[in-house]
Amino acid sequence: MIVEHVLLPVAAERRADFLEAFEKARHFIEPSPGFRALSLHTPVEAGGPMLLLVTWDSVADHQEGFRQSDRYQGWKALLHPFYPTMPDVRYFSEAV
């Protein structure tokens, strides 16, 4: 399994609207093959980015499965308007 790590640059004044959109968007990602779990975290420090963690069976499940699906288009339409730039996506595997 891998963890997708994404820092989302959502402006503080838009977070309430983003959270509402995220609740709708999660229904696009959750039925994806290889999807296991997701969590969204708000920053403790003022002005920091939000943190999205998604657990997948493999990187390919995210990049080739979800990102190339119609479900991703729904996710993108709801959430990407909140980002001034595309967030950096990184993948991690369990070390121990």
Average pLDDT over residues 75-88: 94
Pairwise CA distance, residues 67 & 59, whole Å = 11
Q: Residues 62, 65, 70, 76: what is their CA dihedral angle, to the nearest 10 degrees?
A: 10
pLDDT value of residue 79: 97
**Percent of all residues in the chain with a pLDDT value above 90, rounded to a whole number:** 86
pLDDT value of residue 54: 98
Question: 70 Cβ partners below 8 Å, 6+ apart?
Answer: none
pLDDT value of residue 45: 84
pTM of the model: 0.93
Q: Which domains, and CATH codes, for the chain?
A: 2-93 (3.30.70.100)
Pairwise CA distance, residues 70 & 59, whole Å = 18
> Has residue 46 got a pLDDT over 90?
no
The secondary structure of 27-55 as a DSSP string is: HHHTTSTTEEEEEEE--SSTTPPEEEEEE
Per residue in 18-31, pLDDT tens?
999 999 999 999 99
Instruction: Please tell me what DSSP assigns to residue 57.
Output: S
